[in-house]
Structure 1
Amino acid sequence: MEGISTKGVLSHLSLLEVQARSRKTRPEQPSRVKELKAKVEALRIQREQLKAEIETHKNLQKLRASMDKQSTHEEEEEEEEEEMDEDSENSELLRLMARHTQLEDLLHAHHIIGGYDVIKTSQGKGVCVSLATAYEGVYLETYNVEIDLKPRLRISRHNIPPFIPLDSLAEQSNLQAEVRTFLDALSKHLNGFAGRRQQLKLVKELHKPVEVMESNVLCSILVMLLTVPTVNTAVLCTLDYTDPTRCLPTRVHFECKANKALPESPEWKKNSSLLMETPVHKALMTMRKMGNIL
């Protein structure tokens, strides 16, 4: 009896479990169908959005092409724009989007080449990079280098002074792979030259008693005739700038025929160090205040 009752209880429990499962599955079926329908609708909406994005992208490409050719092919641009409704809000929006992507591309290029000013040339097949020079916070000359992008990077036009080794810098910096390295090296050479030339100009303006005897176009050498006030003795001062990227000399040489020992004196050795470490127009000002020169 005991075994039979136990078996009956187990069968009853099994039946209850089956019934409970059937109750749980029945209400879930409509919910599952509803969920699948919602997913299908979401996919349909996504498909329509993708179609619209593709169409927008095609129109943007067309507008970008016309904008890039604006300077040289204005008539072609007008014909392409006439294909779209001029009064359409969508058309105006597309133009704004195209202009936005164009500016983004220019900003990206500006960032890649290190912040130099750049504009597109040759219908987008090249760029013109502007390199500004400055000394002591004063902007001086601006130089331009036009670089063809296709089929390979090549300097096509420029107004860089002929004594700046442009081709050597392009080769040493590997222009094809490192445009920014090339531009940085070129900028250092240009700013070094501009700074030395500006110093020479300031020497002539601020130090009338100092006679400039010699200088070259690169301003890599400067020979000045200084006058010692106490004995009215002339001292020939030669500054060599062997590093073309710097505004300070790498060698200072004094020569005094009346007093050959003067350049080796402690006072004039200090003057030599001063000229090595300080821009020449400022160093001469200090030497004059100390009474070493007129």
Structure 2
Amino acid sequence: METASAKGVLSHLSFLEVQTKSRGNQSQQQSRVKELKAQIEALEVRRDQLKAEISAHKDLQKLRSSTDKQSPDEEEDMDEDSESPQLLQLMARHTELQDLLRAHRLIGGYDAIHTSQGKGLCVSLLTAYEGVYLETYNLRIDLKPKVRIGHHNIPPFIPLNRLAEQINLQTDMKTFLDALSQHLNAFAGRKQQLKLVKEQHKSVDVMESNALCSILVLMLTEQKNKMAILCVLDYTDHTQCLPTRVHFECEDKQLPDSPQWKKNKIILMETPVHKALITMKKMGTIA
């Protein structure tokens, strides 16, 4: 009976192992599908940008070609019904639109281009941290019949629709793009800090982090007694790169309230985490 019972337990454990692996594979597949969808949307936005650029270049080339073929005598004899004045007007309009677009980039700080015969606008939002350019996100905004968000590759955890609701997208697109850019740059900054922690601090174990990089759990080692200390950084303000709360846990319940570790808490709240860890090591508080 004991042998049969043992076999039953082993069989059940094997079943649970297979089930766990199956769930893990499903989770990986779903994550991969989301990643591919984001890539497809980014490529669609880029495709629209390229189509608009090619169309603009072709039109301008035709206009210039038509104008170059005209002799000075023909230009003097042009009347109001001829095609040349229309071509010149189109060229002037094209130049005017280019100037407006350049002004928009300079004032707004965003790379934008019209698409779909002026019915849409593709905006590229660059992210950077400490002078290093990181990901570029693309967003298509449909202008007609009303302003609304089209295809994009903005991460799903960025509150894109909530920002569009809070800020009147119809009348204040600049404020909307500013708010979106702030969220994206803060996320990129937190993500880059996490990357630098893994690269620069091999003695620090990253125990947990989420997709938004708004929670970071580190395992530190206290220098003097080699005691393990759990450090939790909570980035409640998703528009910032610094945590709003830092919490320590360890076997010595008195240690987090000691003057030295209170000082460490302030350092972690006021300094990017990869730099804060360097400071803590120099002070001799962590290994």
The normalised TM-score by structure 1 is 0.70
Corresponding residue of 2:100: 105
Is 1:216 matched up with 2:199? no
Q: Distance in 2 between matches of 1:263 and 1:86?
A: 81
* Per-residue deviation, 1:106: 1.4
Contact 2:60/2:91 (CA < 8 Å) preserved in 1? no
Is 1:186 matched up with 2:175? no
Superposition pairs of residues 130-145 of structure 1, within 5 angstroms: 130-145=124-139
Q: Distance in 2 between matches of 1:99 and 1:291?
A: 64
Contact 1:210/1:224 (CA < 8 Å) preserved in 2? yes
Partner of 2:211: helix, strand, or coil? coil
* Per-residue deviation, 1:238: 0.2
Q: Distance in 1 between matches of 2:98 and 2:60?
A: 18
Contact 1:70/1:77 (CA < 8 Å) preserved in 2? no
Q: Distance in 1 between matches of 2:181 and 2:58?
A: 39
Equivalent of residue 285 in structure 2, options 264, 274, 292 = 292
Partner of 1:131: helix, strand, or coil? strand
Contact 1:69/1:77 (CA < 8 Å) preserved in 2? no
Specify the code of the residue in structure 2 equivalent to 1:86.
K
Deviations 1:186-233 (A, max 9, x none): 000000100000000000000000000000000000000000121110
Superposition pairs of residues 248-263 of structure 1, within 5 angstroms: 248-257=242-251, 259-263=252-256
Equivalent of residue 274 in structure 2, options 270, 278, 281 = 281
1:155 to 1:273, Cα distance in 2 relative to 1, 3 A: same
1:71 to 1:255, Cα distance in 2 relative to 1, 3 A: same
Partner of 1:235: helix, strand, or coil? strand
Superposition pairs of residues 36-115 of structure 1, within 5 angstroms: 71=54, 86-88=69-71, 94=88, 97-111=92-106, 114-115=108-109
Contact 1:197/1:219 (CA < 8 Å) preserved in 2? yes
Q: Distance in 1 between matches of 2:233 and 2:221?
A: 16
Is 1:266 matched up with 2:239? no
Q: Identify which of structures 1 and 2 has the higher relative contact order when contacts are C-alpha pairs closer than 8 Å and 6+ apart.
A: 2
Percentage of identical aligned residues: 62
Larger of the two Rg values belongs to structure: 1
Specify the code of the residue in structure 1 equivalent to 2:262.
K
Partner of 1:152: helix, strand, or coil? coil
Corresponding residue of 2:191: 197
1:79 to 1:130, Cα distance in 2 relative to 1, 3 A: closer
Contact 2:141/2:147 (CA < 8 Å) preserved in 1? yes
* Per-residue deviation, 1:105: 2.6
* Per-residue deviation, 1:180: 0.6
Q: Distance in 1 between matches of 2:70 and 2:240?
A: 58
Contact 1:120/1:126 (CA < 8 Å) preserved in 2? yes
1:97 to 1:235, Cα distance in 2 relative to 1, 3 A: same
Alignment RMSD: 2.8
Give the gaps of 5 or more residues in structure 1. 1-67
1:256 to 1:100, Cα distance in 2 relative to 1, 3 A: same
1:80 to 1:228, Cα distance in 2 relative to 1, 3 A: closer
Equivalent of residue 171 in structure 2, options 159, 171, 177 = 177
Contact 2:52/2:114 (CA < 8 Å) preserved in 1? no
Contact 1:72/1:123 (CA < 8 Å) preserved in 2? no
Q: Distance in 2 between matches of 1:82 and 1:137?
A: 43
Aligned residues: 225
Partner of 1:231: helix, strand, or coil? coil
The normalised TM-score by structure 2 is 0.71
1:83 to 1:279, Cα distance in 2 relative to 1, 3 A: closer
